Each structure stands twice: as C-alpha cells, then as structure tokens.
Structure 1
Amino acid sequence: MRKVSLLAAAVATALASGVALADNADKNDGWEVHGYGSMNFRMVDGETVDTEFGRPDYKTAGTHGQSTNQVEFTVKKHSTYDNGAWADYVVRSEYGNGNSYAYTSSGSQKKNDEAQFEVKEAYVELGGLSFMGKDTSIWGGQRYLNRAAGLLSGEYWKQSSGVGAGLQTKLNGHTAGAAIVVADPDAGEASRSDDRTTLTSYDLYYYGVDVGIGSLDFDFKYMEQANKDSNSDDGFGAAITLNSSYYGMDGWTQTAIAYGKGVAQNRGVNFGGWSGGDENQESIFLTSYGVMNISDNWQMGSELTYFAALDQLFGADDLKRYIAAVRPSYKVNENMRLETTLSYGHEEGADGYWGRSGDAVESDIWNVEVAVPLTVNADFFGRPQIKPYISYIKADDKASGGQIGIDNSDDETVIGVHTEIWF
C-alpha cells in the first residue's frame, strides 16, 4: 500500500474513532467549585499563640481556633453520558490547617513545611452503570467518607479518612453502603518506619431509616492495623445517629451514641491515621447538637458531648471528658448579629494518668465569648462573615490552665477577628 493510502486509512480510522467517542460523549459536562476559608487574627498579650485552649479535647467551645489562614477548595467535574452512566471527579485541596503563625509577604511560608498546600481528597465516583442499577454507584480514591462534626466543638467524631474504594446503593429506599479505607500513621512524617503500621477500616452503613420523630443512621466499622502484636491489631466501632427537630421544637439536631474498642477506640467510627490502640482501649461516646429557631430574631446553637473510657482510653485509666455549650444569636439587622458562646468542659482520670497528679488529675474549664458577626446574611449560618470577638477562658487552677496552653495562670483573655466563608 502506498504511503498516501496508509495516511488516508489512518485519518479515516481516527475520524471513525472520534465519531464513536462523540456518540458516547458527555451530554452534561459541568464544573462545580466550592471552598472554605477560616482566617483567624487573634492576640494574647500582644502575640500570636500556638494553642486552641483545649478545644480539640472538648474543654472549650469558643472561636479561638489555631489556624491563622486556612484555605480550602473543592473542584468537581460531573459528566453524564448517552448510555445513562455518570461520573464525578472530586479534588479537595487545603492550605494552612493547624498553622498558628501570621505570615508576611517575604515568602517565609516556604521555609516552614507544616500546614503547606495539600491534596486532601481525590476520587472518582461512577453511577448509572447498566449492570448495577440507577441507584448504585462505586467510588475509588482518597476521601473523607461520611463525615460528621459537633456544632460548637467543631470536632469530627465520624469519618473514614484515607485511600480506598466503596459501593453505595439504595435498600428499601434508604442509603446503604460498604467501603474499605486505609491510612498510614507515619505517611506525613519525614522519617518513616520500614515496617508500615497500615490501618484498615471496613465500613458498613445504612442511613435514613424513618422512626417518626426523625431518621436513624447506622454505622459499623471493623478496623485492623498491620505489624502490631495480637493485642493491638484490630478493633471495631459502631454508631447510631438520630436526625430530628430541636427536641420537638423548631430547628434541628443530630444525636448520636458510638462505641469503640481496640484500634477503634477513638469514638468508634472516627477512622484515620490517628486510629490505633490495644484491646484494653474501649470508649463510649454520646453527643447531641443542633440549632433552635426561637423567633424571627433569636436562634440558639447548643452541644452536649460525653466521651469516656469503659476501661482505658488513649492509655489512660477511667478517662472522662464532657462539654456543655450554648450559643445564643440575635439578628440586629440583615447584616449583623450579636452572639454569645458559653461553655463548660471537664476532664478527669485515674491518679497518675499521663503522669498527672494532684490538681492536674481533674480539670474544669469555663469559656465565655462575646462577638459581633458582620455578614451578608444574619442567619446563624450566614456566611461569609467577619466576626470580632473577645473570649475569656477560666480554669479551676493553674495546673488545668497549663494543660490548655495558659502560661502561669488559671485564666486568659483572647481578642480576635475571625473571618469565615464557605461556598
């Protein structure tokens, strides 16, 4: 065959392939961009500080989070095809989570390798496949699966954070799914062990069961850890969540009870690189949080959380933590709220836990915060907003104050401006 014939054949083949691809091309090719930003200017005695004053341990519920400049973007590409199949490609990037320094324009951010630009999620989800049914989808990649967090503590108590794959479908009209997710505890460390202690979570969930006063979500996770002895290589956790009104009034709540043992000691259904523990580690977790719509101008958020060892937890005997917090909010007008946060947190354990003795064995922390959020929408969740605040934290003694980052005192006043946006 002459060269010109070979070229013509190649062009014809390419054109035919293009037509075939076009016939199966996406008919709904869309992009979505979502994001989150938390920029917290806060000062203590004229300096920035590297502490959250016990917030991650359910001791306080103020706005004094650690991150000075946390930025997050999620990009989603959705495609629907002629044959009925659809695909989502999701990438979530993040910068600055956990960084407490106030950077300038000199480029010094590159000198600190903590809280740098990171890809937190990257996964593909496929649905509408002909052999699986219209209500079934599969996914693979890195993601936060089934996250839930306390309203005022802000702590995630449920998630599977790592790399994996899963299937989600409908059973009797309810969402059901199964997944396997893995995480390496030393993945972000500069030096890593030759023997990887990879964590694995096998997830089963069934959501949206109507019970009259709301709906129930069920979660079960069996977890394993590689290269651990037989007393520390597995565990399981389970949770039941009620989604309902605000205790019979106008608003909403999530109320959950969770149990965890062994590798699943950390609230039972909170899986990630932080998981692990031997068979003596056992916990119970209860939480209830939500927002009540009191009137046209008044709303109130609240949270009650209890987290305790049934035997040991994080290596401590008889560890108990609990917090009670409320945040009443008053709409001055469409662009301004007055907001107060009140919280009481408690922690205790058996004498000598984590080397503590005397006053350090038990701690009580009170937190009072007043704020004036300026926002485009004065609803409780109106964002974006710029929120000047003053937060006063009082511990029962200096030992308890030292545990949450208060230097040589039992109280501290934080002055700040918290800027927050999600879209």
Structure 2
Amino acid sequence: MNTTLRTLTVALTTALTSTWAMADNAIDFHGYLRSGIGVSSDGGMQEWQKNKLGRLGNETDTYGELELGSQVYKKNDVSFYLDSMVSMVSDGSNDNETTIGNDAQFGLRQLNLQIKGLVPGDKDAVIWGGKRYYQRHDLHIIDTKYWNISGAGAGIENYSLGPGAVSFAWIRGDANDVDYRVNNDNNVNINYLDLRYAGLKPWQGSWVEVGIDYAMPNPTNTQKSYGGLYDADNGVMLTGEISQDMFGGYNKLVVQYANKGLAQNMVSQGGGWYDMWNDTSRATGYRIINTGLIPITERFSLNHVLTWGSANNITATTDKTRLISLVGRAQYQFTNYVRGIGEAGAFYQKDTYNDGSNYKQSGEKYTIALALADGPEFMSRPELRIFASYLTDGEKRDTFRDNTASDTWNYGVQVEAWW
C-alpha cells in the first residue's frame, strides 16, 4: 500500500511539474484540513449524529485534502487544465499514523482534465473527463452534501442556454459489498446520468437551479444469476432549489424527490448514493431543506439549516421513516480576528415498520466556542477554536460513557482551513 501511494505521488508530481515547465504556467495549490484535540467523559471526544445535530465541537477525526492543478495549455480561447487531489483521514490519536493497521486512510479524490474553448457556440463551456468532485452542493455546518454525484466520469459543463447554463455528465459510483455469496465480485457497477440547469433569475437577487439524476445498476452476469438485491431497479432523484439575496446574505430553499435505491438519501442526509443493501423496489422519498446565512448586524450573523425528510419502503421491513433536523450557528465578531460562536442542534427521527412497531431517535447538542480567524467574515478560514459541547440523547438511551449515561460533554481545540 505504501509503495503504491509513493508511486502515485511521484507520478502525479512528475506529470504536473514537467507539464508546468513546458507550459511555463504556475501550479495551483488548494486544500482543506481539520484537526485538533478533544476529551470527554468517555475518554476521547465523542462524535454523535453530526449530520443532524451540527459539526461544531462534534468532530473527532483528522481530515485533509491536497489539490494540485495546472493550466498546461493556453492559446487564444482554448485551454487545457489538469487537476488532482489526494485525501487523508485518521482519528488523530498518534504521532505516526500510517496505512498499516488502517491508522490512516489515503484516497485519490480527483484526477481529471478540463478543456475550455472547444464547444461550438460557447467558448466558456467545459468538456471534462476523469475523476472529480462534480458540482457538489454543501450544507457546511452539518457537513452534508445534499446533491453530490461525484466520481469518475465525463461531461459538458456550463453550456449557455437561454438565461442560464446546462451541464450534462455520465458518472460512475459503484456500490460495494452487496452480497457475501458472490466471492470477489461484490461491487455493483452503478452509472449516473446527471442533467442540470442553473442560472435562471426569475426576479432580482434570486437564483434557480434544477436537475435530474438517473442511477442505473449494471450487475455482471454472475451477480444477475444470484438475483435478490442484484435485481435493483433504475432510480431517479429530482432536485430544485431557489436562492435569494437577503440582508447582505442569502436564504435557500431546496426540494427533492427520489425513488428506488436513491430514496434513502432523503432521510440519511445523503447526496445521491445508491442503496444496494436493501430491497428498495417500492421506495420513494421527499426532502425539503431551508438554509441561509444572514448578517443580523455588522458583527453578528446567523447560519441555519432546517431539514425535513420523508421516505417509504426503504427496506423490506420498513413502512415509513420521518426525519426533522434543525441546526443554527451564531457568530459574534469581537475584533477582526477574535469571535465568539454558539451552535445548537436538535433532531427527531421515527422509523415505522410493517408489523406496526417503531423505533425513535432524537437528540440535542449545544456548543460554545472562542475562535481566532483571519478576518471577520462568517466563513473566513483558517480558524482555531476552543470549544465545549453538551450532547444528550432525547430518548434517554445510554448512548455515552460506555453505555451508562444518556449525555456527555466534549472539550477541545480544533483548527479548520481551506485555501
């Protein structure tokens, strides 16, 4: 594994630096990191229901992404751009975290070519191919991408059509470990067709985007012979959203519908992964999201995410699932570099089964933090935070302290940055 990673790193570096030398262009360097130290009554920090209660003071890992890209060719309106990204995640518990024993996991997240200037009639449209994050739509304070069809693929992006632009992509995102009976043939090939239209502005300060994602399971002949879960149907996810400038910030409303293996995304806070682990032949789901960032005063601002999700028949034994989650983060800027942050979150989820029984989940989280950042804007990063978080299981289950208590405290320091 280490040899493979070293070989990949050397190959990427050699390709980018040699191409950079020939094209006499700079290398773009981007990335993301989060890391820190924390403690709780359970020993190390406890991370619980982050995507429903909020991430502030509720993240335990060390995670990083390093991205290198370069425009390797440019002549008149035609350009070729190469992009690459690797990632690393670990629990941050040791000095030397390697791939041995899975202390750290490394991944190839992006490796693609983007060509601009060759689409007839639109010099700004992009032809692309390779592996990439594809137009991900993010809810930062709950660390959720609610519209995320990423992977290896190809497409045409941002082709002008009327008042907006259309994008079309074919992307692969396989499902893993579906059936233990099929040795060495567990992965199921899933292909997505993604069509989007963005840029429509029905009135001043508004922005509309709509799209359809069509997922097509493509099992091998061996997998088909086993039937069962491998007989999964094609699924569809429809997304529509409208954003509005508001008081110097914005508010966004998102409405989604999904069926078959995509339906569970409406209650799992997913962005488009296909469920091959359950019988989803009758599954349907809906989701409504309201989110926004509103500057209340010059120093005080508020970010919120409200999610309501509903899904039916997402497993062979589940009749319906309902989810509601609300997270708000308030920030007060004491100086250009010092800020106070408070985040509160709550959720409730109920699964009702075909036999009439049900399973309820709920919880709350409250976090206060003092932070240092490189500017007064709400999303300015890098940021270093000292925090304290209180988490409680709303169903009074013994979720924490080695399954002896229904609540716990987290204390720690975390840094977060993107560049």
Q: TM-score range by the shorter chain?
A: 0.7 to 0.9
Q: 1:46 to 1:203 in 2, by over 3 A?
A: closer
Q: 5 Å matches for 1:12-411?
A: 29-45=25-41, 47-49=43-45, 52-56=47-51, 58=52, 60-82=53-75, 84-96=77-89, 99-104=90-95, 107-113=96-102, 115-129=104-118, 131=120, 133-168=122-157, 169-186=159-176, 193-194=184-185, 196-212=187-203, 214-227=206-219, 232-246=232-246, 249-267=247-265, 270-272=271-273, 278-312=280-314, 316-351=318-353, 361-399=359-397, 402=399, 407-411=403-407
Deviations 1:41-73 (A, max 9, x none): 121126225x521123x2x11424444321111
Q: 1:410 to 1:195 in 2, by over 3 A?
A: closer
The code of the aligned residue for 2:243 comes to N
In the aligned structure 2, how far is the partner of 1:391 from the partner of 1:336? 19
In the aligned structure 2, how far is the partner of 1:376 from the partner of 1:81? 34
Q: 1:145 to 1:274 in 2, by over 3 A?
A: farther
SS at match of 2:69: strand
CA contact (8 A) 1:73 1:94 kept: yes
Deviation for aligned residue 1:414: 0.8
CA contact (8 A) 2:193 2:214 kept: yes
In the aligned structure 1, how far is the partner of 2:276 from the partner of 2:381? 33
CA contact (8 A) 2:312 2:318 kept: no
In the aligned structure 2, how far is the partner of 1:129 from the partner of 1:329? 45
Backbone CA RMSD of aligned residues: 3.0
Deviations 1:267-295 (A, max 9, x none): 37833476775222211111111211111
CA contact (8 A) 2:119 2:126 kept: no
CA contact (8 A) 1:62 1:391 kept: no
SS at match of 1:112: helix
In the aligned structure 2, how far is the partner of 1:288 from the partner of 1:47? 36
Q: 1:260 to 1:276 in 2, by over 3 A?
A: farther
Of the candidates 388, 413, 419, which is equivalent to residue 417 of structure 1?
413
Q: 1:383 to 1:120 in 2, by over 3 A?
A: same
The code of the aligned residue for 1:255 comes to L
Q: 1:405 to 1:280 in 2, by over 3 A?
A: farther
CA contact (8 A) 1:44 1:414 kept: yes
CA contact (8 A) 1:201 1:271 kept: no
Q: 1:406 to 1:309 in 2, by over 3 A?
A: farther
My pick for the range that moved more, 228-237 or 381-390, is 228-237
CA contact (8 A) 2:244 2:251 kept: yes
Structure 2: any 5+ residue segments left out of the alignment?
Answer: 1-21
CA contact (8 A) 1:264 1:276 kept: no
In the aligned structure 2, how far is the partner of 1:274 from the partner of 1:340? 35
Q: 1:346 to 1:128 in 2, by over 3 A?
A: same
Deviation for aligned residue 1:368: 0.9
In the aligned structure 1, how far is the partner of 2:260 from the partner of 2:366? 36
Structure 1: any 5+ residue segments left out of the alignment?
Answer: 1-24
